[in-house]
Structure 1
Amino acid sequence: MTTVRTALVIGGGIAGPVTAMALRRAGIEATVHEAYPPAADGGVTLTLAPNGLAALRCVDAEQAVRGVGLPMRRTVVTDGRGGRIGAFPHVAVEPVTLGLWRDDLARVLRERAQAQGVRIGYDKRLVDAEQSHDGVLARFADGSTATADVLIGADGIRSRVRTLIDPQAPEPQVLPLLNLGGAARYAVPDADPEAMYFVFGSRAFFGYWVQPDGRTAWFANVPDRQPVSYAEANQIPRQQWLRRLRAVFADDVPARQVLAHTDPEDLVAIGSIESMPPVPRWHAGRMVLVGDAVHAPSPSSGQGASLAVESAVQLSRCLRDFPEVPAAFAAYERLRRARVEKVVRRGRQTTSTKTAGPIATRMMRIMMPLALRTFLNPERTLGPEQRYRIDWETTVATELAGRPSRVDR
């Protein structure tokens, strides 16, 4: 039985609300402290994989999230001329992958958390924390403080909690691709409503899916070796970004048509793609990391949100099952590190394919049919990731001892 009764969760994006809900189910009162005001999430697309949706069942949030997402059952890969390179079904597992908007996902998770009794405070930017033998005191930029038995950093890839745990912690690794996205007031003709489309254009990578409301959700990855932060990207006028994208994709279909029907106010500039290298210290004393703060993969992995949800649930199980905080945190790291670092590595490899030039794209057209039957077969490459399931009722000690449980299947 745990001795932890209260927790401060820093960050109200995706990992934060799920952590708070899972902690409450474990008998721990959790309060979320979010640095930004309500509705500050970016309107970008993401996918939630089957393993992430399954983990949301543990906190009674799966159905709510399904209500704001679109089922994605297959992927179609084309070149910039509209020629099909390949198509493949997604892993044959339920629930299926969802395509959705990040702000919708974050909003629904916060609503579910509040409905379950979780308190969420906004404009609460953490600046420091002090640990004692029996608790943590958090200090916020507005001068307020809060105390609890443990403090959990769910504060994203530029985590303040990560630097408090380890001032020498690594910084995010910048990858040579810009990430932009948006929504076009245009539906790509004859698009499969349950398919994700990946376009290897002449100069950049473009992804999209068509929504029931007649819009096309899209994202673009443009090679650029000059690192651009989120803040820097948003200092550039959206109209300027849109002009650049229209030039980059001028020879590619349907990217040029989608961008022609995108208004500046519907474009979001994220900046350079980033991922986290291995983080040496996941926890210290009564502070611990979860989600992108400790294992942010490239968006190309398709697993960022799902891994965050999984870790939120697994951390809560560990705090439930171990009476001492150090043992709980150690068990949590043991459960998660190998899995998440493997996904981060795969995400980097996938991102590198998006810088493929015209010659590589032609070779891809030739090799794709064979690759999809062998080393790129979705069941082989993604099946183990997406079939991962958390059994809330199984004790963590049993799981770590290697005894049969649904978690390992």
Structure 2
Amino acid sequence: MSGTRTAIVVGGGIAGPVAALALRRAGIEATVHESYATTADGIGGGLGIAPNGRAALGLVGLDRVGAPMNAIVLQNHKGRTITEIRQPMQFSWRADLYRRLYDLTLSQGVEVHHGHQLVDVRESDTGIRAVFADGTASEEADALIGADGLRSTVRRLIDPQAPQPRYSGLLGFGAQVHGAGLPPTGDRMYMAFGRRAFFGYQSFDDGTGVWFANLPHSYLTWQQVRQTSNEEWLRRLGEAFAGDGVPALELLRRTSPDDLITAGPMQDLPHVPHWHRGRMVLVGDSAHATSPSSGQGVSLAAESAVELARALRDLPHDQAFAAYERARRARVERVIAQGARSNSGKAAGPVGRVVRDALLPLFARLATPEKMAWQYDHRIRWEDPVAA
């Protein structure tokens, strides 16, 4: 018997709503508490959803997310194609995915509370309460799930010595361009290793396009990045891609400063020692943040939310948390390590670029669908019981 009937979900981004929906499917009543006073409509850039992520999202009732992105074409700074990697992905704007999850959560009867910034918890033998910055507290629940992201408060409450995010050496930027001025790339996303920065782009049949750039830079917080104007960042990105044989300069020229998305420092969490304590447990980026370079952040968060719900459905909370961690830790840390290797190639120096470009064909041979099956073919068997 599980014994878990109610849960508090802290964080209303992506992982939180998926966790609430999965818990509801498992017969557990969940409420979502988000620190921001408003919704996140219109916030965020583009992201990839892998087949394993789509399968996990499908288990909570969300199907057909985004547009097909079935191949990645790798290029060098001259624009010469090095290799093409066929992998069935979907491209989605984070804001679109967020809104669909938010609407689905409300339609399933899940309560979502805004302006609830977690500062502490009150735990007893019978349950746990979340304490918010305004002094109010939630109703008591059987478990509290931290889906509050890279700088998780729940992670700190579980372990005051928990590690801080690790900086990759790259700042992230991107934009949607309404008049891309490029031929449609179909279902292909082009990614170019420029001489001084990394650039990715895709153009669509309706004339719009999307691009992103990873710029090697000393560490800046997101707030520090925002202290520099978007006009200045576009100018610096133009300098970084000057002389490269990819359409970066054209897309940058067609990007309005108002449309520039400054994602800030690209970071990950390679190893979080403690995922749970007492009645608290972590899910998504709070437990296993991976760099955007992995293309698996949303997918891993969805997987973990579903696995956690399965475990709480079948086991008492302490056994469920342990079983959930056993099912997830090795997999997510392997993906995080792979994303970190990708980042090191993007931030390579003059000598490293030569070595990287020479090794890219080898990487392509290792990135075949068969070699990547462990990552993309992962499926969660919802109906199977979870063993202690």
CA distance in 2: counterparts of 1:86 and 1:274, whole angstroms? 27
Q: 2:86 aligns with which of 79, 85, 89?
A: 89
Aligned to 2:53: 52
Q: Is 1:74 paired with 2:75?
A: no
Contact 2:40-2:98 at 8 Å conserved across structures: no
**Which amino acid counterpart does residue 206 of structure 1 have in structure 2?**
F
Give the drift of 1:367. 4.7
2:381 aligned residue: 391
Query: Which residue matches 1:405?
Result: none
Q: CA deviation at 1:371?
A: 4.3
Once the 2 structures are TM-superposed, how far is the Cα of residue 88 of structure 1 from its aligned partner?
2.3
Moved more, 302-311 or 72-81: 72-81
* TM-score, scaled relative to structure 1: 0.90
Structure 2 unaligned residues grouped into runs of 5+ = none
Choose from 163, 173, 179 the match for 2:166. 173
Q: Does the alignment pair 1:21 with 2:18? A: no
Q: 1:114 aligns with which of 103, 106, 109?
A: 106
Q: Are residues 1:377 and 2:351 paired?
A: no
Question: CA deviation digits over 1:224-283, x for unaligned, max 9?
Answer: 1x2111222223221221121122112232000000000011111122110003111100
Distance 2:59 2:318 in 1: 24
Letter in 2 for 1:267: L
- Residues 180-238 of structure 1: CA distance to partner in whole angstroms, max 9, x if unpaired? 111123335234220111011121000111234422111110111x2111222223221
**1:356 & 1:12 partners in 2: Cα distance?**
36
Check if 1:61 corresponds to 2:62: yes
Q: Give the counterpart letter for 2:336 in structure 1.
A: V
Q: What amino acid maps onto 1:45 in structure 2? A: G
| 2:303 alignment counterpart | 310
Shift of 1:43: 2.5
SS of the residue aligned with 2:381?
coil
TM-score (norm 2): 0.95
Give the deviation of 1:42 after TM superposition: 2.8
**Within 2, Cα distance between the matches of 1:213 and 1:129?**
50
Shift of 1:299: 0.8
Distance 1:266 1:3 in 2: 49
Identify the range of structure 1 (53-62 vs 207-216) with the bigger mean alpha-carbon deviation: 207-216
Identical pairs, percent: 49
Partner of 1:128: 120
Instruction: For 1:259 and 1:268, locate their aligned partners in 2 and report how far apart those are by CA, in whole Å.
Output: 12
**Matched residue of 2:370: which SS?**
helix
Q: How far 1:77 sits from its partner (Å)?
A: 1.2
Matched residues, number: 385
Displaced runs of 4 or more, over 6 A = none
* Contact persistence 2:284–2:304 (CA under 8 A): yes
Q: 1:2 to 1:222 in 2, by over 3 A?
A: same
* Distance of 1:240 and 1:260 partners within structure 2: 13
What per-residue deviation string (whole Å, max 9, x for no partner) do you get for residues 35-57 of structure 1?
A: 11113563211101100000112
Q: Match of 2:243, SS?
A: coil
CA separation of 1:250 and 1:313: change in aligned 2, threshold 3 A: same
Contact kept in structure 2, 1:86 and 1:365, CA below 8 Å: no
Report the Cα distance in structure 2 between the residues aligned to 1:351 and 1:13, rounded to whole angstroms: 25
Amino acid at match of 1:71: P
Query: Does residue 142 of structure 1 match 2:142?
Result: no
CA-to-partner distance for each residue in 1:344-386, whole Å, 9 max, x for gaps? 111111111112345555555555445433x343431x22110
Contact 2:41-2:98 at 8 Å conserved across structures: no
Letter in 2 for 1:239: E
Moved more, 350-359 or 125-134: 350-359
Aligned counterparts of 1:133 and 1:116: Cα–Cα separation in 2: 30
Name the amino acid aligned to 1:394. D
What does 1:158-197 align with in structure 2 at a 5 Å threshold? Answer: 158-187=151-180, 189-197=182-190
State whether structure 2 residue 263 is matched by structure 1 residue 266: no
| Pair 1:30-2:30 in alignment | yes
Looking at structure 2, the residues matched to 360 and 15 of structure 1 have their Cα atoms a distance apart, in angstroms, of 36
Alpha-carbon RMSD: 1.7
Q: Which amino acid aligns with 2:20?
A: A
Partner of residue 323 from structure 2, selected from 309, 316, 331: 331
